[in-house]
Amino acid sequence: MSTEIKSLNEECGIFGVWGHQDAARVTYFGLHNLQHRGQEGAGIVSNEEGQLHGYRGLGLLSEVFANEKRLSKLYGNAAIGHVRYATSGNGHVDNIQPFLFRFFDSQVSLAHNGNLTNAKTLRRELEEQGAIFHSSSDTEILMHLIRKSNAPTFLDRLKESLNIVKGGFAYILMTESAMYAALDPNGFRPLSIGQMKNGSYVIASETCALEAIGASFVCDVQPGEVVVIDDNGLKIDTYTTETQHSICSMEYIYFARPDSNIAGVNVHTARKNMGRTLAKEAPIEADMVIGVPNSSLSAASGYAEFSGIPYELGLVKNQYVARTFIQPTQELREQGVRMKLSAVRGVVEGKKVILVDDSIVRGTTSQRIVQLLKEAGAKEVHLRIASPPLKFPCFYGIDIKTRKELIAADLSIEEMNERFGSDSLAFLSEEGLISSIGLKFDAPYSGLCMAYFNGDYPTPLYDYEKKYRASLKENKVNL
């Protein structure tokens, strides 16, 4: 959740509701609980008796809709929304979703979470046929495919198109008369269906958004499914039967909110189990267990509980840091000025500390926190990571596209321990991760995608294949 601290970013949250008189407002509150999935832009499109209205902008949801009029003008009984993490810092509003397309014969709005692996190829093919793209995102591709299709109904055209795009995707679409949701054949990204007290159906990237609006959980969208919600209710269809669960394990480890359930497993509970398993796999004597706030607190408390070592508040995160643009100068930084995290001297001074973190990407944060604790007087700092080493990029919707960004792709555990200045370092095993989450799907790794850890990608990589193979050679990796 703490995207300010770690350089690991989810690429979006999506939400939709059909049949509620306050649809745009419901969508606002749903997106509000998905804000951790993307902070660089947000948008909502509503449906007022077949007429679609939209507003989107750069910034947090509350900034985009700071002026209440922006929201109250989105009339209608249905709405879909999106929060976006923009991969380039220089975010352009052109890429903010949901997209809204107005044709002479229809209107369609579209929101997307994920990453297509054959986007470059498809885009080129479409452009060669005369298509014009306005954004640099993958998302427009689906709209072009739907418009190119000659299938009889919108649903048919959508299903045909979903068989052409590859990779990780959760889509929500809205036309004049219905809302559609679809998940890729591997189910990389989470997507759940809920129902409000008045009977309205909602779709959301995480179940925490259902809770936020008082909706009860109905079911998860399954790989290969396309869901249709209209005034007649909910209908679940499939666009392919060649499916196999490969749920993104990083959702459990880091991205999802602890109060969400994914595939029926509560995220906090999964993380606490990871901490417990880690305590079993990599025990050490110490005075206390502390977690990196906020994403590692569940795992840390699990470690503490299993080991019987007290769980303490050894690090405090400044809750007001989010939008501070004034930074310490290099000189002040050398004098110890820092803004986001503080070590609690009164707690750690003279103590042996077990520091639990959820994962390590570049390693710069880990190094800084170990140093913080030592400066605050910690006698020893034993670093325990509640996930296996991240060694391989993700092509299904997480913003790590090259191995260069991953310290564990380069260094051994001993080398990392030395670089961080910690007194010992251990990671959770792959088996430990799988058992801690406890999925039961009849699929490799019980239904988890473990590719970041072991390079075992559950699909072909298409456009990324060549570059990825080359990067492996560079790093002399033997798979």
Where in 201-240 is the site for its own copies (CB under 8 A)? Answer: 207-208, 211-215
Contact call for residues 181 and 227 (beta carbons, < 8 A) = yes
Q: Which amino acid is at 266?
A: N
Strand, coil or helix: what is 464? helix
Site membership for its own copies, residue 14 (CB under 8 A): no
Give residue for tokens 């004049």: 176
Q: Of 65, 169, 303, 464, which one interacts with its own copies (CB under 8 A)?
A: 65
Site membership for its own copies, residue 318 (CB under 8 A): yes
Nearer to its own copies, 83 or 416 (CB): 83
Nearer to its own copies, 55 or 457 (CB): 55
Where in 329-348 is the site for its own copies (CB under 8 A)? Answer: 329, 331-332, 335-339, 342-347
Contact call for residues 405 and 87 (beta carbons, < 8 A) = no
Site membership for its own copies, residue 358 (CB under 8 A): no
The rounded distance, in Å, linking the Cα atoms of 79 and 64 is 16
Site membership for its own copies, residue 89 (CB under 8 A): no
Nearer to its own copies, 203 or 208 (CB): 208
Q: Of 7, 50, 51, 93, which one interacts with its own copies (CB under 8 A)?
A: 93
From the list 5-13, 157-165, 311-319, 412-420, the region that binds its own copies by CB under 8 A is 311-319
Contact call for residues 349 and 377 (beta carbons, < 8 A) = yes
**With contacts defined by CB under 8 A, how many residues of the chain interact with its own copies?**
100
Where in 423-462 is the site for its own copies (CB under 8 A)? Answer: none
Q: Give every CB contact of residue 99 below 8 A, 6+ residues apart in sequence.
A: 109, 110, 111, 135, 139, 140, 143
Nearer to its own copies, 306 or 468 (CB): 306
Site membership for its own copies, residue 102 (CB under 8 A): yes
Residue 265's φ and ψ, nearest 5 degrees, are: -105, 125
The rounded distance, in Å, linking the Cα atoms of 56 and 452 is 33
The rounded distance, in Å, linking the Cα atoms of 30 and 202 is 9
Determine whether 12 is an active site residue.
yes
Q: Of 186, 301, 365, 436, which one interacts with its own copies (CB under 8 A)?
A: 301
Dihedral sign from CA coordinates of 82, 248, 259, 59: negative
Site membership for its own copies, residue 84 (CB under 8 A): no
What's the distance, CA 300 to chain centroid?
21
Does residue 11 come out as left (phi exceeding 0), alpha (psi in the -120 to 50 range) or beta?
alpha
Where in 31-50 is the site for its own copies (CB under 8 A)? Answer: 32-33, 35-36, 39
The rounded distance, in Å, linking the Cα atoms of 79 and 21 is 10
The rounded distance, in Å, linking the Cα atoms of 299 and 229 is 38
HEC string for 7-53 = CCCECCEEEEEECCCCHHHHHHHHHHCCHHHCCCEEEEEEEECCEEE
Site membership for its own copies, residue 294 (CB under 8 A): yes
Q: ∠ at Cα 225 (224, 230), nearest 5°?
A: 155
Site membership for its own copies, residue 258 (CB under 8 A): yes
Is 399 annotated as belonging to a binding site?
A: no
Where in 185-204 is the site for its own copies (CB under 8 A)? Answer: 196-198
Q: State the binding string over 359-398 for its own copies (x if CB under 8 A, else -).
A: -----------------x----------------------
Where in 113-142 is the site for its own copies (CB under 8 A)? Answer: 120, 123-124, 127-134, 136, 140
Is 94 annotated as belonging to a binding site?
A: no
Is 184 annotated as belonging to a binding site?
A: no
Among the listed residues 102, 155, 160, 115, the one whose alpha carbon sits nearest the alpha carbon of residue 12: 115
Site membership for its own copies, residue 165 (CB under 8 A): no
Site membership for its own copies, residue 354 (CB under 8 A): no
Please enumerate, by residue number, every residue annotated as part of a binding site for Mg(2+).
Answer: 295, 357-358
Catalytic residues: 12
Please enumerate, by residue number, every residue annotated as part of a binding site.
Answer: 295, 357-358
